[in-house]
Structure 1
Amino acid sequence: MCNALVNKYNVAGPRYTSYPTVPYWDIDSFSLHQWKDSLKRSFDESNTAEGLSLYIHLPFCESLCTFCGCHKRITKRHDVESPYIKAVLNEWELYLNLLGAKPVIKELHVGGGTPTFFSPENLRFLISELLKTATLAEAYEFSFEGHPNNTTVEHLQVLYDLGFRRVSFGVQDYNLKVQKAINRIQPFENVKRVTDLARKIGYTSVGHDIIFGLPFQTEIDVIETISKTETLMPDRIAFYSYAHVPWIKGNGQRGFKDEDLPSGESKRQQYETGKLLLEKIGYTEIGMDHFALKSDSLYKAMETETLHRNFMGYTASKTQAMIGLGVSSISDSWYGFAQNVKSIEEYYHLVSQGIIPVYRGHILNVEDLKIRKHILNLMCNFNTSWQNAELDFEELPDVLIKLKEFEQDNLLEFLNKEITVTEKGKPFIRNICMAFDLLLQRKKPETQLFSMTI
């Protein structure tokens, strides 16, 4: 990749798991009443036809990984499990009362934190109690995140028996120096063990998460990590850039010095080398940061242009409504977003008072919905069109002027009222989406809110 392009486009920018992005939510005018109306509208429109997605956030971890940007609480006390599960089920009951009809669950994902911090018995109780209140869609998909060091055969079997068929394991990098820097020491043997166990039990999609741009990480480290990954051939791989945002995440991302991080050029080379190696051994790049074998549902969704992106990342099936349960979880009704409180104590208090524990959100206006669709099109399909008047908007001419610069750099192509991102332009997809981000352009942040795009 040309260093001039890296230098030009290596700026702070959103990852676009939502539009508007969280810093630009209109929090002042948002209310819990608005969120309820928004979700009820979406549920009534879509539950029967497609069902809804459910995300459950389990925040506990026994140790702190200093690369992590997720909301978590560090503890070795496992007596926290039962009270938390009770609160999550109570929150779900509040949503059931609001929705007024039996929900159809199409997608369920359990993330963290470390979901496998919880015992298999407690996970069984949580999921089985939740499923008693819902109907399953015809082609439902259940998935969870497992830690290679503490995921047991019992975890895998219990969740498999409940309908889970997809699991992802965090690998990050196999170099011991890198692992020590991020406080995530896990030998290859542990990853192999859980990968083999999952397949033996019957999981149809096993994923590995690999990160580039970590402290002390080199191009050789990426090559060696992918070489080990090739011996296991997970069905899908998340190969993504380390987001260094210590000013947001606090001391959790200060386990090393800034100078220990690779430069922008070095980081980009790690990505380019990793991408070539992954494609060489049979993976196809899906959207941004994801790779899958042709047998995986993520690849098939890309082929049929049914790929979707939300706060759970890329998913093979779209639902209009997504409910997030647990501290810090974000819900999406398509017409609005809502995020739960981040303090476990406050979460417990609100739920015990019969209050859906939302503390901030955003209701999308007509412009937001149009821009969101363009950004989703780009993030999922690498193209978007404004031939349909419904996707035209007042400031589109200004956006097209900005996009011309990407065309001049051969990062995208214009065809009538449509743009398509070129192969050369795919690594810069976040930058291209930023051209559509009217809120970002109207109010440039005074401090850095996002990680660098390269």
Structure 2
Amino acid sequence: MCTLISKYNVAGPRYTSYPTVPYWDQDNFSLKLWKERLQKSFQETNIRSGQNNDTNEGISVYIHLPYCENMCTFCGCNKRITKNHEVEVPYIKSVIKEFVLYYKLFDTKPKIKQLHVGGGTPTFFSPEHLDRLLTGIFTIAKKTKDCELSFEGHPNNTTKEHLAALSAHGFRSVCYGVQDYNATVQKAINRIQPYHNVMRATIEARAEGYDSVGHDVIYGLPFQTQDDVIETIRKTITLQPDRIAFYSYAHVPWIKGNGQRGFKEENLPAAHQKQKQYQIGKKMLIHAGYAEIGMDHFALKTDALYIAQQKGTIHRNFMGYSPNKTEIMIGLGVSAIGDSWDGFAQNVKNIEEYQHLVNNDILPIFRGHLLTREDLIIRKHILNLMCRFETSWIDESLLFSELPDVLKKLKELENDKLIKINTNKITVTKKGRPFVRNICLPFDLRLQRKKPETQLFSMTV
């Protein structure tokens, strides 16, 4: 395994989209074209739903709430550090107004199938203000019968009142950031968070009726040892979260600046140490009854993610893994990304600029990409690999001209027993699952054609 780690530990995307953001084609993108593609996709979605009354296709909505009271040095998200809670109401007003601007593009009231509130720290906002935000959203849109509503909670400040306010709108899924329970590691990443806070937040969520409680755990953190991972996983298992995201720490200080410079490079575990942390953590989770779901995720067999994987409906987008696929995702808030399936668009990253544009009735888009036919084919292959650990081209619509070259590049991974290549199918082996990002790389035609001159992505191991 150490030889494989040395061989395949290269910089590579996490593939929450294809093409990945650094390879978006700005020259062919415009706000006008983005609106046109979104309108067309919305109309097609409504037609499909109308033809099949059993289908509640709907749209997804992601709401980005960027404020945090403290800087966590492991975090790569877009955030604003402040203790000034006067910012809450103006920001919420802007988010609701942005959704109104999207609503005006559509010919009917949108139906939301999935809504996720992320950050930042969503529970930075008071329960009353979160209620105001969601009331504003659901005044404009309807929910499908199987709508999944979820949010990210900070165990230190998620209260019963937060849980109740969101539950009243139909939220039944919450994910808490745990990271690691070791005091030295917590100090290094500036995330002081005792076990009893996580336990309290987990118990209170279940008491409020949340049927999917998730924990995020990270390996490869500064000063983190294999024993720290074992202890964190052990404590996590005692609380029996329904879902566990077991992430590799993405060290990208060249992108995120000083936010990830709260420690020295030599304080980080080496690649082979990180892989050992992952392997022992994964073994513990599997032994405790969790099933591996896509990349980095585990779920109990009673959870909707596991059931979706078994049914083949699991999906991956900018919000992560989801039990259901929608072709449209509206991104609201600073830096949020939207998806029309054949196009991506990202909001401006500065809060003041975002609010200025929205308040002047302008969608706050600053970049995007319109997918080509080839992009759409590659996107499907990468989604298949990331969600189901296999892809095929039995359907001729998934054939593309450079497939023979891709298969040649994959041959070495097959020799290393990370994948199996059949006449018209690729299957990722159990041994190959930790290397699924590497397996996707040969399919990434835009990256293959133009290798980056500087490092753009975190290491795959």
Question: 2:65 aligned with 1:58, yes or no?
Answer: yes
Q: Which runs of 5+ in 2 are unaligned?
A: 50-54
Say which of 253, 257, 268 aligns to 1:246: 253
Moved over 2 A (4+): none
The alignment's C-alpha RMSD in Å is 0.6
How far is the alpha carbon of 1:100 from its aligned partner?
Answer: 2.4
* Pairing of 1:45-84 with structure 2 (within 5 A): 45-47=44-46, 48=49, 49=55, 50-84=57-91
The answer to whether structure 1 residue 450 and structure 2 residue 449 are counterparts is: no
In 1, the alpha carbon distance for the partners of 2:312 and 2:17 equals: 19
Looking at structure 2, the residues matched to 36 and 377 of structure 1 have their Cα atoms a distance apart, in angstroms, of 28
CA deviations 1:231-250 (Å, max 9, x no partner) are 10000000010000000000
Residue 359 of structure 1 aligns to a residue whose secondary structure is: strand
State the alpha-carbon separation in 2 of the partners of residues 304 and 57 from structure 1: 30
Deviations 1:337-365 (A, max 9, x none): 00000001110111111111000000000
Q: Which residue of 2 aligns with 1:333?
A: 340
Residue 209 (structure 2) aligns with = 202
Question: SS of the residue aligned with 2:162?
Answer: helix
Report the alpha carbon displacement of residue 39 of structure 1 after superposing the two structures with TM.
0.8
Cα distance in 2 for partners of 1:230, 1:448 equals 36
TM superposition score normalised by structure 1 = 0.99
Q: 1:6 corresponds to which residue? A: 5
Corresponding residue SS for 2:105: helix
Q: Is 2:233 the partner of 1:234?
A: no
- Report the Cα distance in structure 2 between the residues aligned to 1:292 and 1:74, rounded to whole angstroms: 32
**CA deviations over 1:164-199 (Å, ceiling 9, x no partner):** 000000000000000000000000000000000000
AA of the residue aligned to 1:418: K
SS in 2 for 1:234: coil
Unaligned residue ranges in structure 1 (runs of 5+): none
Percent of residue pairs bearing the same amino acid type: 66
The amino acid of 1:211's aligned partner reads: I
Distance in 1 separating the partners of 2:84 and 2:366: 27
Deviations 1:206-245 (A, max 9, x none): 0000000000001000000011111100000000100000
Of the three residues 322, 328, 335, the one matched with 1:321 is 328
Amino acid at match of 1:184: R
Residue 18 of structure 2 corresponds to which residue in structure 1?
Answer: 19
The structural deviation recorded for 1:286 is: 0.2
Do structure 1's residue 103 and structure 2's residue 110 form an aligned pair?
yes
The aligned runs of 1:28-427 (5 Å cut-off) are: 28-47=27-46, 48=49, 49=55, 50-427=57-434
**Paired residue total:** 453
Where 1:203 maps in the other structure, the secondary structure is coil
**Residue 257 of structure 1 aligns to which amino acid in structure 2?**
K
Query: What is the one-letter code of the residue matched to 2:280?
Result: T
What is the CA deviation profile of residues 235-270 of structure 1, one whole-angstrom value per residue up to 9, with x for unaligned ones? 000001000000000000000001100000000000
User: In the alignment, residue 319 of structure 1 is paired with which amino acid?
Assistant: T
Counterpart Cα distance in 2 of 1:283 and 1:362:
37
Q: Once the 2 structures are TM-superposed, how far is the Cα of residue 416 of structure 1 from its aligned partner? A: 1.8
**1:403, CA displacement in angstroms?**
1.0
Q: Deviations over 1:396-426 (max 9, x none)?
A: 1100101111110000112221010000000
Letter in 1 for 2:305: L
Q: Secondary structure at the match of 1:401?
A: helix
Taking the aligned partners of 1:388 and 1:303, their CA distance within structure 2 comes to 21
- Which secondary structure state, in structure 1, belongs to the residue aligned with residue 143 of structure 2? strand
Letter matched to residue 341 of structure 1: V
What letter is aligned with 2:243?
A: R
Distance 2:355 2:395 in 1: 46
Counterpart Cα distance in 2 of 1:85 and 1:300: 35
Look up the equivalent residue of 1:205 and give its one-letter code.
Answer: S
Q: How far apart are 1:46 and its partner, in Å?
A: 1.3
Partner in structure 1 of residue 52 of structure 2: none
Shift of 1:386: 1.1
What amino acid is aligned across from residue 408 of structure 2 in structure 1?
I
Q: One-letter code of the match for 2:161? A: E
SS at match of 2:233: helix
